[in-house]
Structure formats: structure tokens, C-alpha cells
Amino acid sequence: MTTAPASHSLIRRLVEDSRSAFGMALVSILVLAAVFGPVLSSYAPDAADFMATLAPPSADHFLGTDDLGRDVLSRILSGARVSLLVGVISVGGAVLVGLPIGLVAGYLGGRTDAVLMRCMDVLLAFPGILLALGITAALGASLTNTIIAIAVINTPTIARVTRAQTMLVSSLDYVKANRALGFSNLTIMTRSVLPNALSPVLVQASLLLASSIITESYLSFLGLGVQPPTPTWGSMLRDAISFIDQATWLAWFPGAAIFLTVLGFNIFGDGLRDRLDPRD
């Protein structure tokens, strides 16, 4: 019997499951929009047309225009790039920092665990959005600082999930057997514990991608995120508030973009969790 390791067929199994395929499709659309956005739209995202402000959706402007006559579709497409960038880098950074912390804390336990986890608890004690506000307020509002702030609020979540899973795996007999065989702690952590503790962390990361995009939109909405004229979905939503009685589509479409993206990542994360389960 020649069976490929489970991970080889993971993508195929994800595609075969219609629900996670839907999630993957939404995520793929976001990626494509982020990469090819400028090509797809005939307007520049910051080209103002004062002859056509607050225009409703039409053949010229599929999703209408905003108060400065900028094409909403181009702005949403170009905002996808910012959203994806913020999501991927902030979650990636959180994994890079939180995963080793959780792994070491969960495996070594005792005092190391207490010290590392109390540090994480300090971060967790603040409501995430408040902490992100504080960080961007302190560092100054920019794309980089937004990413840093969101990475900081994501780190304890990743560390906690990794730690819990590491503690679970570390108590299993094969880890004890490897200790009895004389493998070093580092070898056991990286070769035995991490691969078996990883799947819930990956799922958590995919869900955090969604919440990071929302957090970015909050920050932009409050004016502390990415600064104009760079379009982001959150700042488009904020600007739309002023015209909500004249041009509802201004709020509808960025809101729908956020909704679909978060939905996509969530469904994808759920599917990933189901497919990574060895019992699948």
C-alpha cells in the first residue's frame, strides 16, 4: 500500500468539500483583486471626477462614485490589496512571535510557562481594538504601524492556542518515548510536538486573518489606520457615513467586500480545521 502523507492531498480534499471550496473561492477572488485590481478597472482609485459625484451604480461606474467622484469599484479593488497585506503580514508576524512563545511555554511548563504566559495575558487583558488604537496613537497612523498594532493584538491568541495544543501533545506517550530515547528538547519540540500541534494554530490563523481585516477597517474608520488617499475598505465606510442618506451604496459595497472576505476566510478556516483532523 502506497499512501501519500495526508498533507499532499490536503488541497484536493479542501476543494472536494463544497463548503471549504466556496471559502477558497472567496479568498481567491480577494487575492486576484489585490493582484490584478488596477488592471480590472478603467478608473484610477484616486481620480476625482467632480462632474459625477455621488453617482449611483451605472454602466459607467458599476458601483457608483463617492463624494469626490472617485470610482467605488476601483477603490474597493485597490483596497483589497491593503486589506490582504494587513491581514497576511499581521497574522504572519503574530505566528512568527506567538508560535515559538506558546511552544516553549507549553513544552517546558513551570516557571518559563508562567512568565511567558503572564506577558501574553497582559496583552490579552486589553480589549484588542483599544490596544490597537493605543499602539497606532503612540506610533503614529500609517500602514506599517497599523500592521504592527494588529500583529501585537493577534500574538497572544496564537501563543495561547499553540500552548494549549503543545501541552496536550507533550503529554502523549510518543513525546515521552522520544524523551526516554534521549532526544533534546529542541528536537522534540520541532520534530514531534510542533507538527502535531500545528493544525489548530493554522485554523486560528485563518480566522485571525478575517478579524485582522475587520480591525484594520475599524482603525481606518476611526482615522487611525491607513491614511488617505490610500483607499481601504474601512476608510471608505467611514467616508460613506456622511452621505448615508444620499448615497447608501457608498456604505453597501465596502461593507459587502469586508463581509465576503471575512466569510471566505472563516469558511476556509473551518474547512481547514475539518480536513486537518486526522480522523477525517
Partner 1 sequence: MTPLLAAENLVKSFSVSTGWGKPKRFYAVDTVSLSVERGRTLAVVGESGCGKSTVGSLLLRLQDPDSGSIRLDGEDAMALDSNGLRRFRRRVQVVFQDPFASLDPRERIREVLVRPMLLHRLCDRPEALKRAAALMEAVGLSAEQLDRFPHQFSGGQRQRVAIARALSVQPDLIVCDEPVSALDVSVQAQVVNLLQDLQRDTGVAFIFISHDLAVVRHLAHDVAVMYSGRIVEQAPTRELFDNPRHPYTRALLAAAPRVEIQRKSHVLLTGEPPDPTNCIAGCRFAARCPYVQDRCTQEEPPLVPVDAAHLSACFFARTLPQVETLPDTLPGTSASARMAAYRRARDRQTQQAEDI
Nearer to partner 1, 115 or 172 (CB): 172
Nearer to partner 1, 162 or 217 (CB): 162
Binding to partner 1 (CB under 8 A) within 150-179 occurs at 172-174, 176-179
Q: CB of residue 120 vs partner 1: minimum separation in angstroms?
A: 23
Contact between 13 and partner 1 by CB under 8 A: the answer reads: no
Asked if 85 and 179 touch (Cβ cutoff 8 Å), the reply is no
Q: Which of 102, 211, 215, 212 is nearest to 163 (CA)?
A: 102
Contact between 3 and partner 1 by CB under 8 A: the answer reads: yes
Contact between 111 and partner 1 by CB under 8 A: the answer reads: no
- Residue 229 preceded by cis peptide, ω within 30: yes
Q: How many CB atoms are located within 10 Å of the residue 97 CB? A: 17
How many residues line the site for partner 1 (CB under 8 A)? 19
Q: CB of residue 142 vs partner 1: minimum separation in angstroms?
A: 42
In the list 170, 192, 211, 217, the residue contacting partner 1 (rule: CB under 8 A) is: 192
Contact between 181 and partner 1 by CB under 8 A: the answer reads: yes
Contact between 114 and partner 1 by CB under 8 A: the answer reads: no
Task: Tell me the Cα Rg of the chain.
Answer: 22
Q: CB of residue 172 vs partner 1: minimum separation in angstroms?
A: 5
Nearer to partner 1, 13 or 179 (CB): 179
Contact between 8 and partner 1 by CB under 8 A: the answer reads: no
Burial 191-212 (b: 16+ CB within 10 A, else e): ebbbebbbbbbebbbbbbbbbb
Q: CB of residue 201 vs partner 1: minimum separation in angstroms?
A: 15
Q: Which of 37, 32, 28, 60 is nearest to 231 (CA)?
A: 37
Q: CB of residue 5 vs partner 1: minimum separation in angstroms?
A: 7
The C-alpha atoms of residue 69 and residue 80 are separated, in whole angstroms, by 20
The C-alpha atoms of residue 35 and residue 38 are separated, in whole angstroms, by 8
Phi, psi of 36 (to 5 degrees): -105, 5
Instruction: Enumerate binding residues for partner 1 (CB under 8 A).
Output: 1-3, 5, 172-174, 176-183, 192, 195-196, 278
